[in-house]
Amino acid sequence: MTAETNIPSLSSLEYISYIDANGQLPEQFQAKVGVYAIFDRQQVLQYVGYSRDVDLSLKQHLVRQPQLCYWLKVQTIDRPSRTILENIQQAWIAENGALPAGNGIEEAKWTQPIDAKVAMTVDEQTHLTASDELTQAKLLKDVARRVEGQISSQLESRGVKMQLRFNPKLKEKGLLDLK
């Protein structure tokens, strides 16, 4: 794929199940450069992104938005070109007729580490503000682990069997992101 005229329409691509029968992401996208569209259970477009490693990005999106990642459409390219990737992304969004929430008001939920601090109880929030730095880090790590457990339960209920490892350094800040 080298020119804009070769941009496949989103509707011409086949839906791919986000999680295969073995509880894994489709392995054909490991270490592949491409553009991907993520759809919910009813095949409503939620997010269009591009990546130098589609597989890694799909894993991140799955842990950040497990309830919205059911179907995919992917176009890989042989040579990384931000221009080509952005052109495909924009064409797919335009074809959709509306900006997907994941590319608009909900973008941070799709692209930024999970902020576990929003799940803190009132007691935890009070304890956090009254604590020293070391105690704060421990409390934030505990909250992050609790949220990680909730995410793991959601993914397990969806049949996900792949190993996911969160960055331990970010947990001390109350954030979750895959390592």
pLDDT by residue (tens digit) across 92-127? 999 999 999 999 999 999 999 999 999 999 999 998
Q: Is 132 helix (H, G, I), strand (E, B) or coil?
A: coil
Domains of the chain and CATH, by start: 4-111 (3.40.1440), 114-176 (no CATH)
pLDDT, tens only, 38-81 = 999 999 999 999 999 999 999 999 999 999 999 999 999 998 89
What pLDDT score was predicted for residue 131?
Answer: 86
First to last CA, the chain: 31
Distance CA 60, CA 57 (A): 5
Residue 1, pLDDT above cutoff 50: no
Segment 8-25 mean pLDDT: 96
The pLDDT of 6-25, averaged and rounded, is: 95
Side-chain half-sphere of 86: how many Cα atoms within 13 Å? 3
Q: Which two tokens stand for residue 165?
A: 């490892």
